Amino acid sequence: MGRYITLLLFIGLAWGAELNLDREIRMAKNDRFKNHEISLGMLDDKTGISFIGYTFNIKLNEMNELFVGAGTFLLAFTGTGGIKHYYMKSNLSIYSILSFQAIESMGGNGKLATGSLSFEYNLAKWKYVWAQIKFGGVGVIPYAEGNNEFWAYPFAGINFRF
């Protein structure tokens, strides 16, 4: 009997979360927010060590959004999730990102905590797609027991949000 109650509770919570996500997506489509983003360029602030990346964005409020995504760079693949906070929104926006990334490659795998300070400039707006240039720097702390490393890298790329 307890298993059925737990199952019903789980289904109810999942259904409620799905309805809330659908509401967020509808709200996002009604204003200028776009949920999907493809990024091309040398490294990235969201998808990390990648040349091509995809993220799905969920708008929390006017200045914050959550994201999950994946990227690839030759034989390395990244999975990522985090939060993006805007300090200023205009044609040239300033924002920061805090994220957690998992990397799988031929040389091994790893987990990283990252933070970035970035700029994005709106290049063009077509019917359903925005093109943006973004650039900045990313700080990285590899997750490993007894590891006190910190490293950083610059990035630049172009985004297509739709």
Phi/psi-derived region of residue 12, left when phi > 0, alpha when psi is between -120 and 50, beta in every other case: alpha
Beta pairing, strands 130-142 & 108-125: antiparallel
Between 23 and 56, the higher pLDDT residue: 56
> pTM value?
0.76
Rg for the chain (alpha carbons), in Å? 18
- Residue 6 is classified by DSSP as H
Reported as a single tens digit per residue, the pLDDT across 32-87 is: 578 999 999 988 999 988 899 999 999 999 999 999 999 998 888 999 999 999 99
pLDDT tens digit string along 101-127?
Answer: 999 988 778 888 999 999 999 998 887
Hey, what are 146's tokens?
């007894």
Give dist(CA 133, CA 119) in Å, integer. 8
Please state, in angstroms and rounded to a whole number, the distance separating the CA atoms of residues 38 and 1: 47
Token pair recorded at residue 62: 């006017």
The CB density around residue 125, as the number of other CB atoms within 10 Å, is: 12
Rounded-to-integer distance, Cα 155 and Cα 52, Å: 13
